[in-house]
Chains A and B, each alone.
Chain A
């Protein structure tokens, strides 16, 4: 038995993280990256459906969507965009630190990414609370006559449904992202990552940047339409 399982010399140098069905670490890394992109493609389809539906309804009710958009505060939206972009920068720097084997920097950048992600969610919660108080949530639609422009009452409700669904699913992805970062931080503290093995950091980063991209499109489409018109 011992003879049959004698390890060839070149195998001894392999990273303990190399699975036996891959030739080398580079191939394993490329496969993991590709797999993550396949997952991101399903995410594109998921959010794409909502963007498609938004396109249809906004084209049907352009004035109503523009006037309803004025209930969103674009300053919060712009601030949150900046916050997410900083978190993406720190995520990219975390991946870089992992590749260079800088353990302290990796942990620091992961924490910064999480702090900015949570800041985004905090601002979002504050905005949701304002809409809740103003009775703009679907739950209260029966009490909202949209007296500012009664002819837009129904499409205004549609616009708010899109707002809550799109930003809500985006926020859910942010919550998942912060959970991922927590896991990666725990793994980093255990010393799991090295310049030879940092795949989990890399693919979590891909996810984080994807969620950032969704917000890059949500911000102009929900907050910035109809800013030039005084419709309400």
Chain B
């Protein structure tokens, strides 16, 4: 089927994930205003990609599986993007005057 990743690869990914957890924990204590959530989500996204590509081994999966995994991500982007476009522009609601 696919080539088998080495133990070293898995342990490296684990180490990066653990370091990223500490980074997100400490960055959250620093006042960055609106950027706190942006940094937190970028780190979470990076961690997700590591888990998907290496632990779930999508990197070595068939193109069809890659397409399906990408479809899940695309659907989340659509959902959250449309929700934010809608609710962040309802200026008669709290939090609606985002721009």
A residues contacting B by CB (< 8 A) are 25-26, 29-30, 33-34, 37-38, 40-41, 44-45, 48-49, 51-52, 55-56, 59-62, 74, 78, 81-82, 85-86, 88-89, 91-93, 95-96, 99-100, 205-206, 209-210, 212-213, 216-217, 219-221, 224-225, 227-229
Q: A91 and B55 in contact (CB under 8 A), knowing A51-B80, A62-B95, A220-B40?
A: yes
Which residues in B have their C-beta under 8 angstroms from that of A30?
Answer: 1, 61-62, 64-65
User: Which residues of chain A have C-beta atoms less than 8 A from B48's C-beta?
Assistant: 213, 216-217
A-B contact pairs, 30 of them (CB 8 A): A30-B61, A34-B62, A34-B64, A44-B72, A44-B75, A49-B79, A51-B76, A52-B79, A59-B88, A61-B94, A61-B95, A78-B22, A86-B14, A95-B57, A99-B4, A210-B56, A213-B51, A216-B44, A216-B51, A217-B41, A217-B44, A217-B48, A219-B44, A220-B24, A220-B41, A225-B28, A227-B29, A228-B28, A228-B30, A228-B31
Q: Which residue of A lies closest to B28 (CB)?
A: A224
Interface size on B, residues (CB 8 A): 53
Q: Which residue of A lies closest to B14 (CB)?
A: A89
| B10 near A89: Cβ-Cβ < 8 Å | yes
Name the B residues within 8 Å of A210 (CB-CB).
Answer: 56
C-alpha spacing A134/B14, complex, angstroms: 35
Tell me the nearest residue of chain B to A41, going by C-beta.
B72
- Please report which residues of chain B, range 42-64, place their CB below 8 angstroms from some CB of chain A when the two chains form the complex: 43-44, 47-48, 51-52, 54-57, 61-62, 64
Q: Decide: A37 near B94, CB < 8 A? Known: A52-B83, A74-B28.
A: no
Cβ of A55 and Cβ of B31 under 8 Å apart?
A: no
Closest to B41 in A: A220
